[in-house]
Each structure stands twice: as C-alpha cells, then as structure tokens.
Amino acid sequence: MGSKAIIRVKDLRAGYGEDIILDHVSFNVYEGEVFVILGGSGCGKSTLLKAIIGLIEPRSGKITIDGDEVSVDDDTTLQKILRKVGVLYQGAALFGSMTIAENVALPIREYTSLPKESIDVLVKMKLGLVNLEGYENYLPSELSGGMKKRAGLARAMALNPKILFFDEPSAGLDPVTSAELDDLILYLNRSLGTTMVIVTHELQSIFAVAQRIIMLDKRAKGIIAEGNPKYLRDHSQNQFVKQFFNRQADEKGVVSRGSQ
Amino acid sequence: MSVPETPSTSRYEISENPEGGITLNIHGNMGAANAGQMIDELTALLSDYSPSSLTVDLEKVDYLDDFGTLVLAHLRKLVTNGGNGFYVINSSDKIKELLSILHFDSLDEKMSIEKKRSSGIFIRIGEATLQHISDLKYAISFIGSIILSLVHICLHPRSLRTDDTIRYMQRVGVDGLPIVALISFLMGLIMAFMSSVQLEQFGANIYVASLVSLAMTRELGPIMTAIIVAGRSGSAFAAEIGTMKISEEVDALFTMGFNPVMFLVVPKLVAAAVMVPILTLFSDLFAIMGGLVVGVFMLDLTAGAYMSQTIKTLELFDVFWGVLKGGVFGVLITWIGCFRGFQVRGGAASVGQATTSAVVSSIFLIIMCDSVFSVILRYWG
C-alpha cells in the first residue's frame, strides 16, 4: 500500500435541501489501495461519492484529490482532477445512441492524439480486459445488465485514470459476474496501481476486494467504523457494525418482533 | 508502479548490433498521456534505420499500460512489415502479465473494428414498410384500448384518476393560458392591422371587427391554441411516457395490475379534451381584444362600435364550432403524444425522437383535421 494520501476528505458536511446527510466526515484514501465505503441504505454513501467527484457541492468541509481541492466553482481545477478520475455508475450510464466501441473510444479520441486505427486497437484491448470482445458494434440497449456494467468499466478506465470510483458495482449482477468484476478490480489495482474507491453493501464483495473500509451510518450521519473489514467483523464493539458484517436483522425489526 | 503524474516525455537510446539489428532502450513512462507522441517520435526515429531486427529493452520503463502496449505493437508493425524480427527484453513480471492478458502476440491481427454492414436498399425499404405497417397496427390498437378505457370510465366514473386529471388540467390549461393569450392577442393585432390596410381604401374600417372575430373563432383560434398545446403538452406527454417506458415504470404499472392506458393516457386525454376548448375561448377573446386595440387606436373606431359589430357578426354557432374543433384537437394531441411515448424503445435518443414526432404529427393532424371540418361545414352547414 502506498503511503501518500491521494484523496483527503476533511470535516465534510453534505445534504439535500433541509436534510443534512453527512456531518463531520473526515478520512483519507491512500494511493494504490482498494477502499470501500459501505453502510446501510440511505446512509449517504452515494452522496459522499458525488461530493468527492464534484457532482454536488458540499455544505462545508474540504476535499482534495491528488493535492487539488475539489470545488464545484473552479472549473479549471475540476477538469484537471476529473482527468485523473474514472467513474463506473450504478446503471453504467453508457450513451444509448453510441455503440459500445464508440462509448469507450469517446474519451480516448477526445484526450489523446492517437490515430483512429490505434484507438480501435485500444478499444479492443479494453473490451478484451472486461471480457466483451466481439460486442464492439452492439448498442447498450442490446446488452445485459452485467455486460453494460463491464462496458461502463471499460469506458471508465479508458484513459487509465489514477482513481476509479465504483457506485454499487455488484448491484444487479449474478454472483459469478460479480466475482469476475471483483477479480477485475483487483487485477487493475495490482497491475496498473489504480486506486479503487468502491461504494457497496455487498458483503462477499467487500471481503474479497477491500483492504480498508469506512462504514457510514444514517443516525450518526458519519463514519462509525474504519479499518480492515475482516478485523471489524470479528472485533468491532459497535452493534450496527457487527450486525452488518454478520448479516443480522435489527433486533427491533418487524419480522423478529412478529415471530415472538 | 503507479499511474504517472504528468505527461513526462520518454527518452530513447538506440544501439546497433553487429548483425544489423538495433536495440531500443526506452526510459520513463509508456501511458495514455504520451502514447500518441511516442508513436510519432519513434516512427520518425526508426525511419533512419532499416534494421534486420528490433529489440526493445524495457528495463528502464517505470510504467506501461495498454497505451504503452499499443506503442509496442506499433513498433512491431513498423519492423515486421519487412519480415524482420521483433523482440521485447528485460520486461518486469508485471509488464509480462499485462502483455499476456492484452494478447500482445496476436494484437495486429485484430486491428480495426469492422463496422456492421448495412443491408441493401431493397431490404431496407422492405423493413421500413413492415415497420410502418406494424406502427399502424399498433396505432389502431392503441385507439381501441383508449376507447375501451373511456367506456370503462363512463361505466365506472370513480375509476378515473381525478387527482392526476386535475394536475394535467392545470398543466395543459392554466399554465398554458399566458402564452395562448399573448399569441392570440398578437394574432388579432396583426390581422386587424393587415386587413385595415385593404379595407381602409373602401372606407370599410368597421369590417375589420367582423374579419378578426370570424376568422379567429372559426379557424385560427382553435388551430393556434392546438399548435401551442401540441408544442407544450403533446411533447411533454411523449417525453414523460417515453422516459417511464425506459425506466420500466410502465412495466411496473402493468404488473401491479393497472392498465397503463387507463393510468397514463386517460387523465391526460380528459384534461386536454376539457382544457383545449376553454383555451380556445380565451384565444378568441384575446384576439378580439387585439383587433379592438388596432381599431380604437389606428382606425378611429369607438370601442362600442367595434364590439357591436363583432357581436353582430358572430353567431353562437361560430363560437361553438371553434370550441368543438378545440376539443377534437385536444384529443388528437394527447393520442399522438401518448402513442409516440409508448413507442419508445432503447435509450435517451429514442425519447427525443418520440417528442419530435409527437409535435410534428400532431401539427400535421391538426391541419388535416381542420380541413375535414371545413369540408363538413361546407356541405352540411
């Protein structure tokens, strides 16, 4: 694991309208690590991700990526930051009017001076990495959910960014595809040194890929646990953390109360 | 190895060996930031030599990714075009793994992406015809399901979604009123102004009132209102239903046991059928006001004279006829808008197409329908 903090979040407060969803959130992500943000539904995982990549403006606090402060207003810096970042969205967010190859080629064509034939080869390599050879001319609507996700990943890593963000990568995938995606994440992390920031609540995936996690909680509006997932599972004193990692329902839950 | 900071330029060292081959030492990064530049530089550099073989030494390379692999493949292509040898030496285990995963050895063979070949003209004409026939079938069955839903509502009035209907009434009618009023007012103004130029020559200024009121209530009022509603609401209906279609909301309605037509179309249809006639009335009123302004301020007519001429000209039937047309246009706009919405397949671009074609088809149908009305009136009235 690299020692340099590539993402620094300090005293972040974010929310929508009147609701404050995250408050006093501070953490670092170090270069080259696989970092997982997890927590129950509605705890602000996606909000945190959006704040980090500059899609929403936090109420207060400071976020820096690779030394540059993320600010919605400072377009030049934001552009510089965004070049170092790739995002795989929950629904893959492929452009429906373009083929898979065109989707992946789009950033390469825009930001490099490579000739068209070379871009074609690159696109083939990228799609090969995510096991989608032969689907170059398909439209996103002709692909299954898992294939779309993989194509979305190929596009996110088109320019080999320093940091890849994943919003619920396993959502809607079968266990086999999900495991393949995990392997791919680990492989990219190992071979290219890409820092991975993953938002998920898929337990198996967390144990498979995460080197370090933070857990957010709705009631605490912030981080309730930080560290290695296996260690936390076995040693955490926090009730919610234990429940989460051992997949137990709330004791006050409807089902358990009904069965008593 | 980590992703490089900035587009650092790479350095090259070339040494010739006795057998006529050359060895290329690459220093630095081989990544996305400098791949294009490297290809250009290396092509220029190697054009001075015509080596029997090329050995690329990667010992000093700090970072290599698929862009770097591409550079290597390009180098290989440069020398092996003449049937010469190409070797990569001193690559680290990581680079070896990457090269094998990217199938570096067979990279040239699968160079370009073949585009899907488009089929011949006859096949395309045939496909388009079949598509239109199936569209027509769908359009007719769509009318059928609307009628069935309306019959159902007549028999069970409580199954109408009243809240939705009122909401759409507000969107179609109340929210559309300012623009309808403004455009009609200006239309009345323009018509009065244009006709006065001619009528003034005969001292027939007072007939400006007749012309404006008759033309607006019978023809232009309903048409202008319908075109505005098609642009505002017909497009909105198509976009709304189209987006719901894409996000599987229509499927969700269906599996929950709702009839999508009943749920989505009927409230809009009722709202438009009620509100477009009312908007038409407002349109008539504002057009007459527009004419009145011209009459009073430019033609030296008194407001009283203008109004009494208007009342003398207009029969109740004229107003009724215009309002009836408005109602029919409202139904047409909703039908086309919703129909195009339900036809959406695929992604965002399809929603755009549906919206465009909803507006274009409604305007076409409005004009068509209006000419049918004129013919009916000619032979019946």
Please provide residue A8's backbone torsions phi and psi, each rounded to the nearest 5 degrees. Answer: -120, 125
Looking at the fold, whether B67 and B188 belong to one and the same domain comes out as no
Residue B177 CA, chain-centre distance (Å), reads 25
Predicted confidence (pLDDT) per residue in B141-159, tens digit: 999 999 999 999 999 988 8
pLDDT averaged over every residue in chain A: 85
List CB contacts (< 8 A) between B112 and chain A.
117, 120-121
Q: What is the pLDDT confidence band of residue B129, given thresholds at 50, 70 and 90?
A: very high
Judgement on whether residues A173 and A196 belong to the same structural domain of the protein: yes
Q: Is the pLDDT of residue B108 over 80?
A: no
Rounded to the nearest angstrom, the gap between the alpha carbon of residue B116 and the centroid of all alpha carbons in its chain is 25
Assess if residue A260 is contained within a domain.
Answer: no
pLDDT value for B282: 96
The answer to whether residues A213 and A197 belong to one domain is yes
Beta bridge partners of B15: B23
Whole-angstrom distance, CA of residue B209 vs CA of residue B196? 10
Q: What is the pLDDT averaged over residues B87-104?
A: 83
B289 with B226, same domain: the answer is: yes
Please give the tally of structural domains in chain A: 2
Query: What pLDDT does A38 receive?
Result: 87
Distance CA A167, CA A198 (A): 6
Residue A196 sits in the same domain as residue A67? yes
pLDDT value at A241 more than 60: yes
User: Would you call A233 an interface residue with chain B, using a CB distance cutoff of 8 Å?
Assistant: no
**A211 class by beta-carbon count within 10 Å (0-12 exposed, 13-18 middle, 19+ buried):** middle
B104 and B141 inside one domain? no
Q: Test A193 with B348 for CB contact under 8 angstroms.
A: no
Residue B338 is predicted with a pLDDT of 95
Between β-strands A212-217 and A195-199, what pairing exists: parallel, antiparallel or unpaired? unpaired
B82 with B139, same domain: the answer is: no
Q: Is residue A151 part of a domain?
A: yes
Range of the structural domain that residue B228 is part of: 126-380
**Minimum mean pLDDT among A215-229, A244-258, B93-107, B109-123: which range?**
A244-258
**Tokens encoding A60:** 């207060």
Q: Are strands B22-30 and B53-57 parallel, antiparallel or unpaired?
A: parallel
Q: Are residues A56 and A176 in the same domain?
A: yes
Query: Is B119 a domain residue?
Result: no
Quick one: pLDDT band at residue B340, thresholds 50, 70, 90? very high
**Full domain range(s) for residue A219:** 5-84+161-252
B90 plus B133 within the same structural domain: no
Residue A2: predicted pLDDT: 47
Q: Which of B43-57, B302-316, B327-341 has the lowest mean pLDDT?
A: B43-57
pLDDT band of residue B291 (cuts 50, 70, 90) is: very high
ipTM of the predicted structure? Answer: 0.76
User: How large is the average pLDDT for residues B166-180?
Assistant: 95
- Same domain flag for B152 and B293: yes
pLDDT at A258 > cutoff 60? no
Region B97-119 average pLDDT = 74
**Percentage of chain A lying above the pLDDT 90 cut:** 17
pLDDT for A90 beyond 70: yes
- On whether both A75 and A165 belong to a single domain, the answer is yes
pLDDT, tens digit, for every residue of A101-121?
Answer: 999 999 888 888 888 888 888
Cβ separation A97–B113 shorter than 8 A: no
For residues A77 and A171, state if they share a domain: yes
Asked if residue A237 and residue A113 are part of one domain, the reply reads no
Question: Do A136 and A19 lie in a common domain?
Answer: no
Q: Are residues B270 and B321 in the same domain?
A: yes
Q: Is residue A257 part of a domain?
A: no
A10 and A111 both lie in a single domain: no
- Return the top range by mean pLDDT from A226-230, B92-96, B223-227, B312-316: B223-227
To the nearest whole angstrom, how far is the Cα of A114 from the nearest Cα of chain B? 5
Q: Do B66 and A160 touch (CB under 8 A)?
A: yes
List the single range of A89-103, B100-114, B343-357 with lowest mean pLDDT. B100-114
pLDDT category, B109, cuts 50, 70, 90? low
Quick: pLDDT tens for B202-244: 888 889 999 999 999 999 999 999 999 999 999 999 999 999 9
pLDDT at B1: 43
pLDDT at B3 > cutoff 60:
no
* Structure confidence at residue B2 as a pLDDT band (50, 70, 90): very low
> Which residues of B lie closer than 8 Å to A, measured between beta carbons?
1-3, 31-33, 35-37, 39, 65-67, 69-70, 73-74, 94, 97-98, 101-103, 107, 110-116, 345-350
Residues 6+ apart with CB under 8 A from A52: A7, A9, A63, A65, A70, A165, A197
pLDDT band of B335, cuts 50, 70, 90: very high
Q: Do A18 and A74 sit in the same domain of this protein? A: yes
What is the mean predicted confidence (pLDDT) over B273-302? Answer: 94
- Per the model's pLDDT, the better-predicted residue between B46 and B242 turns out to be B242
Residues A109, A237: one domain?
Answer: no
Instruction: Give mean pLDDT, residues A180-209.
Output: 87
List for chain B the helix, strand, coil content (%; round to 5). Answer: 70, 10, 20
- pLDDT for B179: 96
pLDDT at A79: 85
Higher pLDDT, residue A17 or B171: B171
Nearest to A197 by CA among A15, A38, A22, A41: A38
| Interface A:B, Cβ pairs < 8 A | 98
> If you measure CA to CA, which chain A residue comes closest to B1?
A193
Q: Is residue B1 part of a domain?
A: no
Per-residue pLDDT band for A256 (boundaries 50, 70, 90) equals: very low
A73 and A175 in a single domain? The answer is yes
Do B86 and B176 share a domain, yes or no? no
Domain boundary among A127, A156, A185: A156
- Domain boundary at A139, A156, A173, which? A156
Among residues A118, A134, A156, the one where a domain terminates is A156
pLDDT at B254: 86
Work out how many domains chain B is built from and give that number: 2
pLDDT at B29: 84
Q: How much is the pLDDT for B81? A: 64
End-to-end CA distance of chain B: 88
